[in-house]
Amino acid sequence: MKWSKTHLHTLREAPSDAEITSHQLFIRGGYIKKLAPGIYTYGVMALRSIRKLEKIIREELDNIECSEVLMPMVQPAEIWKETHRWSEMGDGLLKFKNRNDHEFCLGATHEEAITDYIRHDLKSYKNLPMIIYQIQTKFRDEIRPRFGLMRGREFIMKDAYSFDIDKEAALQSYDKMHAAYVNIFNRLGLDFRVVKADSGSIGGDTSEEFHVLAESGEDQLMVSTESDFAANLEVCPAIDPVEASYGGGEALPLEEFPTPGLKTIASLSESVKIDQKNLVKTMFFSLSEGLEDDKSKPIAVLLRGDDEVNPIKIKNHLGLSNPPLLLTETEVQTLTGALPGSCGPVGLDIPVYSDNGLKNYKNFTVGANKNDVHLKNVNAGRDFQVTEYADLRFAKSGDKSPDSKGVLKAIRGIEVGHIFYLGTKYSKAMKAQVLDQNGKAKTIEMGCYGLGVSRTIQAAVEQKNDSDGIIWSKALAPFHVHICNLDPKDSSVNSVVESITSDLEKKNIEVFIDDRKERPGVKFKDADLLGFPVRLTIGGKGVKEGTVDVVNRSTGNKKQVEINNVSIEVEEILNSL
């Protein structure tokens, strides 16, 4: 492929809304171009990378006998109403009506569509196991699309769905997919980690995420210093390094004291001379389950002053479909009679959930539900009832690893894949059954498996780059070799370019030729920016001497190589990657 025949435009500067490196490099390198927020055109180079990733995905999934289909992107509301996700998914689902007033949405995910696809055709246990996948454009009306392809509104996903006769078989399908994902990410040459994860609105109780490790990753992962334990912070169990306790001994008489202007745990801690970790904070959430009866009921959550409440743990503990929302300041005031900062559990007639970290806390301090007043010597059981103790806080670096091996350390990742064992959530709601060996109708057990195709290629760039540009792995590079033709008007140079290109292409090495009328410096800069593994510099001077410069993009090593040996040298570099 020649640059002069390609719609490829590089930029010196990235636009100001490109906050992370890979987004800047993708825009500067002409890989992607924004049409609207979160909506991009994949340019010629990005598309080649995407196609390579898709090929690897297909090979690995075909290896475990999955079959590929392509489902519609436009889906009727009816199937989403069957599973109640028409309302549960909230505004993330882009809904619209056609001329006949029928409701539709753009496919944000395809559990409903696939279940509808199979439900009348899969009849017997003999048809199972079955894994079906597609690679398709998804649309999610993300509140804050950002970081280019990382969080787009429109993006490409590979989604697969497994169907099995029972849980045991379903977990075998899950394990097969897990292994295929490990193969895929290994083949991409990426540094990645598999972590325990939350199932979100998809459902089910077993799920793992695949993360490409990168400092700028949106997700915080907790990993053990001494074992392979790894979990997304959202679900990582919190276990204190040493069991915490405070204010032991006899329960002392409850006492009010004035705390004018002390609205934060930090200011209260300083004033009463008690460590933040020994103060107790009260947070209020509203549970508006089912959304259909939108009566919301408030709950209080207590935790230590230096801990952070984890709404996903509340959701999972209470079996909600979405994390509960914090009450607003006005709602808190209506409920407790005081502003947040002066509130506590004493005297409230609502469920009170207490974080496990407070189990051994006695005679502690909380807000008095009167503005600018706190209570000291508060004791659970005597002054208020704890509905339940549970793990409701975020784990921290230094906490005990939940597998008791080592301590937790925080790292960051970009979620590129998410696999779920679903159970019968969709098959039950949509009545997808087969007959088992005894001729009895059984609800099919399902799993679903997402892989963000467009996000993954950008994650690869986020992981490997330098100040000059992208450093592609061999597997995902749009081309293997970038030829800078320094004298495109010189026929002897052109014939060397052509013969080297033809030698390389015979070996299935893909070549991109910069044949523009640009200065060498501009061509070198663009080659580094685009980031293909090998750069060849072919110009009049070298050709006269019978040599070509060969540059390894990842090491920066430059070598003058005789024209006849160029293809061998290129092969060596590619093999070393």
In the complex, minimum distance from the CB of residue 190 to Mg ion, in angstroms, rounded to a whole number: 18
Binding site partner of 423, from Mg ion, ligand ATP, none, Cβ cut-off 5-8 A by kind: none
Does residue number 196 form part of the binding site for Mg ion (CB under 5 A)? no
Stretch of 252-260, 262-270, 447-455, 494-502 lying at the interface with ligand ATP (CB under 6 A): 447-455
Stretch of 118-126, 150-158, 314-322, 327-335 lying at the interface with ligand ATP (CB under 6 A): 150-158
Give the nearer residue to ligand ATP in terms of CB position, either 142 or 503. 142
Does residue number 155 form part of the binding site for ligand ATP (CB under 6 A)? yes
Give the nearer residue to ligand ATP in terms of CB position, either 269 or 458. 458
Stretch of 25-33, 43-51, 52-60, 451-459 lying at the interface with ligand ATP (CB under 6 A): 451-459
Q: Which residue has the tokens 């919190």?
A: 238
**Which parts of 393-422 interact with Mg ion (CB under 5 A)?**
418
Total chain residues near ligand ATP (CB under 6 A):
16
Does residue number 474 form part of the binding site for Mg ion (CB under 5 A)? no
**Which parts of 394-423 interact with ligand ATP (CB under 6 A)?**
415-418
Q: What gap in Å lies between CA 239 and CA 399, rounded to an integer?
A: 6
Q: Which residue has the tokens 């920066």?
A: 556
Does residue number 88 form part of the binding site for ligand ATP (CB under 6 A)? no
Q: Rule CB under 6 A: choose which of 24, 109, 259, 401 binds ligand ATP.
A: 109
Positive or negative CA dihedral for 451, 453, 459, 464? positive
Residues paired with residue 469 on neighbouring β-strands, in sequence order? 466
Does residue number 142 form part of the binding site for ligand ATP (CB under 6 A)? yes
In the complex, minimum distance from the CB of residue 140 to ligand ATP, in angstroms, rounded to a whole number: 5
| CB neighbour list of residue 275: distance below 8 Å, 6 or more residues apart | 269, 305, 306
Does residue number 152 form part of the binding site for ligand ATP (CB under 6 A)? yes
In the complex, minimum distance from the CB of residue 195 to ligand ATP, in angstroms, rounded to a whole number: 12
Question: Which contacts (CB < 8 Å, 24+ apart) does range 112-115 have?
Answer: 112/75, 112/79, 112/80, 112/82, 112/83, 112/85, 112/426, 112/430, 113/71, 113/72, 113/75, 113/79, 114/71, 114/161, 115/79, 115/161, 115/426, 115/427, 115/430, 115/432, 115/446
Q: 329 in helix, strand or coil?
A: helix
Binding site partner of 450, from Mg ion, ligand ATP, none, Cβ cut-off 5-8 A by kind: ligand ATP
Does residue number 452 form part of the binding site for ligand ATP (CB under 6 A)? yes
Does residue number 474 form part of the binding site for ligand ATP (CB under 6 A)? no
**In the bound complex, which residue of the shown chain has the CB atom lying closest to ligand ATP?**
452
Q: Are strands 154-164 and 192-196 parallel, antiparallel or unpaired?
A: unpaired
**Which parts of 28-87 interact with Mg ion (CB under 5 A)?**
none
Q: Which two tokens stand for residue 81?
A: 């109403």
Give the nearer residue to Mg ion in terms of CB position, either 138 or 474. 138
In the complex, minimum distance from the CB of residue 132 to ligand ATP, in angstroms, rounded to a whole number: 16
Does residue number 376 form part of the binding site for Mg ion (CB under 5 A)? no
Give the nearer residue to ligand ATP in terms of CB position, either 142 or 569. 142
In the complex, minimum distance from the CB of residue 134 to ligand ATP, in angstroms, rounded to a whole number: 13
3-state secondary structure 78-125: HHHHHCCHHHHCHHHCCEEECCCCCEEEECCCCHHHHHHHHHCCCCEH
Q: What gap in Å lies between CA 480 and CA 71, rounded to an integer?
A: 33
* Cβ count near 347 (within 10 Å): 13
Q: Are strands 441-443 and 255-258 parallel, antiparallel or unpaired?
A: unpaired
In the complex, minimum distance from the CB of residue 176 to ligand ATP, in angstroms, rounded to a whole number: 18
Binding site partner of 496, from Mg ion, ligand ATP, none, Cβ cut-off 5-8 A by kind: none
First vs last C-alpha separation in the chain = 23
Concatenate the DSSP letters of all residues of 477-492 into one string: -S-SEEEEES-TT-HH
Residue positions counted in the chain = 577
In the complex, minimum distance from the CB of residue 162 to Mg ion, in angstroms, rounded to a whole number: 18
Q: Which two tokens stand for residue 62?
A: 């075909």
Q: Rule CB under 6 A: choose which of 200, 323, 337, 351 binds ligand ATP.
A: 200
Stretch of 51-59, 111-119, 424-432, 452-460 lying at the interface with ligand ATP (CB under 6 A): 452-460
Q: What gap in Å lies between CA 200 and CA 198, rounded to an integer?
A: 6
Contact yes or no for 109/203 (Cβ under 8 A): no
Q: What gap in Å lies between CA 392 and CA 396, rounded to an integer?
A: 13
Q: Which residue has the tokens 């501009």?
A: 522
Give the nearer residue to ligand ATP in terms of CB position, either 269 or 310. 310
Give the nearer residue to Mg ion in terms of CB position, either 418 or 425. 418
Stretch of 41-49, 404-412, 446-454, 495-503 lying at the interface with ligand ATP (CB under 6 A): 446-454
Q: What gap in Å lies between CA 309 and CA 300, rounded to an integer?
A: 11
Q: Which residues of this protein are in contact with ligand ATP, per CB under 6 A? A: 109, 140, 142, 151-152, 155, 157, 200, 415-418, 450, 452, 454-455
Q: Which residues of this protein are in contact with Mg ion, per CB under 5 A? A: 418
